[in-house]
Structure 1
Amino acid sequence: MIRVAKQPEPTSPGFDFDRQVRQPGLSALAELTGKPQTLRRRGRKIKQRAARLEDLSSDDLRDYPYWTRALEALHKAYGGICAYACFYIEPLCGPTVDHFVAIISTQLQDAYEWGNYRLACSLMNSRKREFPDVLAPFLIEDGWFVLNLGTFKVEPAPGLSTETATRVQATIDRLGLDSREYRNMCRRYFEGYLSPPDPKRPIPLWSLERDAPFLARELRRQNRLRPEDTTPDGEASRPTG
């Protein structure tokens, strides 16, 4: 994992999050608790299921998943990178909206708040679920997680405090960042970059940085970039123009 920079809530003309997600969600919550709808909409009236918000369940909200409307905007805002696996998610391959603070453990209004969303591949989202032991991508520090380029397992960085190392390891265990699937994906990107099938057509570093930023950072940190991608002082070269 690497630190994820929180992106601002999208507004029109691109995508009006407030109109498309927040307001319909708040209106649904009102109707579910027997209050008048706060937003005019088509379709049947939503039946009351509880007298108070705190008596509603997450299953009640899943019948009104307005957060899915924000998926394309979320994918665009975060460059398609899974907040946990740190690889690009093709739109056809299961990007999902992760409620970082799970619906079942927070105020239900947060189900319709941009600030509670993380872009996650379906596997990472299913592993994280409502468990609270996964570190927040917005709050971790770069360098807490490192990649062993011999085994392709993610590990806590040496030198962390005992508390931080324990929390990093708990996140690795929960998300399966040392699993066979994750290691194989890292290895495929690694070998594709360092040993391309056609040496005359290598994968450019910028492509690796775009699609696998955690791996690219670890290659740079461990001085494993191709010679042509480094400057004489050993630093990664940057594209010009």
Structure 2
Amino acid sequence: MIRNERLPEPASFDEEVRSPGNAWLAQHPDAQPEAMPALWRPVAHHLAAGFKNRCGYSAMWTRRGTVDHYLSRSTHPEKAYEWDNYRFASGEMNSRKGTWDDRVLDPFEIEDGWFEILLPSLELVMIEERIPINQRERARFTLKKLRLQDDDAILEQRQSWYDEFLNGEVTLSWLARKAPLIGRAVQRRLEDLDPATIADEQTHWRWFLEEDLTLKGLRRRAPRLAEAVDTALRRPDRRRARG
């Protein structure tokens, strides 16, 4: 998970969603969640744009995002048509979250640095010393219930994004936009490179970091530097070993 800023309510939200939704609830006080009209769908694109089309829980770009009711409709029907209760999530994460509600960390309340991806395993770990004491149990609960740490399915998703970068199909900047936790993991490894390795390749290094040059391009134009990068990315992170 990464920090997401709270989003301004769309201008048409009250007219299109809140007012008709609450009117319907008043007429159907005992309605089950699946019966509630999905009036939030027309504003889903506003939510997706605010999250940069990245799931608020897995922190990866998703083609099939959904409107997650942070406080679920079954436990808090009065929040079903409230903008401040919506989060953008992949269908899989939305399903895993279910009715755990605020026992799961809120993407609007966490801070960057609470979680990190380890390389090359791509496991997600919480950085306990950065998380307030009163939030640590929720952080553990979130990792467990959403299976964010090392679930096979989510590791496959991370590997897919990471492989595109390693294979030189996309730039580091692109990776950081689509899967920011993986991008940050790569950047941390690059910070450990010996400055002498970079000294004679400053131009290529800048292109690689900022946008224009993929890892494939770096291998072609600055092979010694690329070899150092590859070596750094392969180095195991011993903070945790899966299994």
Do structure 1's residue 123 and structure 2's residue 92 form an aligned pair? yes
Aligned length: 201
Q: Secondary structure of 1:96's partner?
A: strand
In the superposition, relative to structure 1, how do residues 135 and 169 fare at CA in structure 2: closer, same or farther (>3 Å)? Answer: same
Quote the residue 2:8 is aligned against: 8
Q: Which has the higher helix share?
A: 2
Does residue 89 in structure 1 map to residue 62 in structure 2? yes
| Corresponding residue number in structure 2 for 1:77 | 50
Equivalent residue number for residue 221 of structure 1: 188
Given the alignment, which residue of 80, 100, 111 partners 1:111?
Answer: 80
Aligned partner (choices 18, 22, 28) of residue 26 of structure 1: 22
CA distance in 1, matches of 2:161, 2:211: 20
The letter for the 1-side match of 2:141 is A
Give secondary structure in 2 for the equivalent of 1:8: coil
- 1:4 Cα deviation after fit: 0.7
The Cα of 1:75 is off from its aligned counterpart by: 1.6
Runs of 5+ unmatched residues, structure 2: 213-243
Q: Is the 8 A contact 1:71 1:97 kept in 2?
A: yes
Is the aligned partner of 1:171 residue 2:142? yes
Shift, 1:103, TM fit? 1.9
The farther-off stretch of 219-228 and 170-179 is 219-228
Q: What amino acid maps onto 1:150 in structure 2?
A: P
Kindly provide the amino acid, as one letter, of the partner of residue 29 in structure 1.
Answer: L
Q: Superposed, which structure 2 residues align to 1:175-214 within 5 Å?
A: 175-177=146-148, 178-196=150-168, 202-214=169-181
- The residue number in structure 2 matching 1:35 is none
Equivalences for residues 61-72 of structure 1 within 5 A:
62-72=35-45
Could you say what secondary structure the match of 2:89 adopts? strand
Is the CA contact 2:173–2:209 (under 8 Å) kept in the aligned structure 1?
Answer: no
Q: In structure 1, list runs of 5 or more residues that go unmatched.
A: 33-49, 51-55, 197-201
**Given the two structures, how large is their TM-score scaled by the length of structure 2?**
0.73
> Which has the larger displacement, 123-132 or 17-26?
17-26
What are the residue-to-residue correspondences of 1:140-179 with 2, within 5 Å?
140-160=110-130, 163-177=134-148, 178-179=150-151
- Percent identity for Structure 1 against Structure 2: 29
Instruction: Tell me the SS of whatever aligns to 2:165.
Output: helix
Distance in 1 of aligned mates of 2:181 and 2:42 = 28
